[in-house]
């Protein structure tokens, strides 16, 4: 199984990179993981709607270039579908059984995701109605993917 995570911007904080490294290592026994970062755009404090749309479009076009062919695309979106860890594990398991061997998760930048990415997604997934820093979202996503595999394999962890 192959899992790609495409995200906007670089991680600067060591505690985030350490956590990402730890979950990447843990996931290596379950899947082939690839984390791809695309350049983020500088977003000034006060943006017009037009400037915001332009930034989202530029970042979104970079994301589109990195999405592999024949993948199940999951866009992290605050307005997406919420599900429990068990439900997410079951969804991934069902997709694996139905011959889907590649998943691509997309995490937008500080302004979110371009609408075209959301439209292209097979699933728009929300982790909460709360807003999280996009760097922290990488850690949360990796932890949840790891949790899904533990649940699938009936291994302790998800309590």
CATH topology of domain 2-152: Alpha/beta knot (3.40.1280)
Q: Report in angstroms the alpha-carbon separations of 12 from 54, 127, 137.
A: 24, 23, 14
- CA quadruple 8, 40, 121, 82: dihedral sign: positive
Low-confidence stretches of the chain (pLDDT beneath 70): 99, 158-159
Per-domain boundaries in the chain: 2-152
Tell me the HSE value of 62 on the side-chain side, using a 13 A CA sphere.
19
SS3 content of the chain, % helix, strand, coil (to 5): 45, 25, 35
CA 159 to chain centre: 23
Q: What is the model's pLDDT at position 131?
A: 86
Query: Can you give the pLDDT at residue 31?
Result: 95
Determine the pLDDT at residue 158.
60
- According to the model, what pLDDT value does residue 101 have? 82
- pLDDT at position 44 is 83
DSSP state of 41: P
């Amino acid at each position: 199984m192959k899992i790609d995570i495409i995200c906007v911007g670089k991680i600067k904080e060591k505690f985030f990179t350490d956590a990402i490294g730890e979950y990447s290592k843990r996931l290596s026994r379950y899947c082939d993981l690839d984390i791809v970062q695309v350049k983020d755009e500088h977003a000034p404090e006060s943006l017009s709607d037009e400037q915001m749309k332009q930034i989202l479009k530029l970042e979104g076009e970079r994301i589109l270039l990195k999405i592999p062919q024949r993948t199940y695309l999951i866009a992290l979106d605050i307005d997406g579908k919420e599900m429990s860890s068990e439900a997410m594990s079951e969804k991934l398991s069902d997709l694996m059984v139905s011959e889907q061997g590649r998943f691509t998760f997309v995490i937008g930048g500080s302004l979110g995701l371009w609408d075209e990415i959301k439209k292209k997604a097979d699933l728009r997934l929300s982790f909460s109605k709360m807003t999280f820093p996009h760097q922290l979202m990488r850690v949360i996503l990796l932890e949840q993917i790891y949790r899904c595999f533990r649940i699938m394999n009936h291994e302790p962890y998800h309590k």
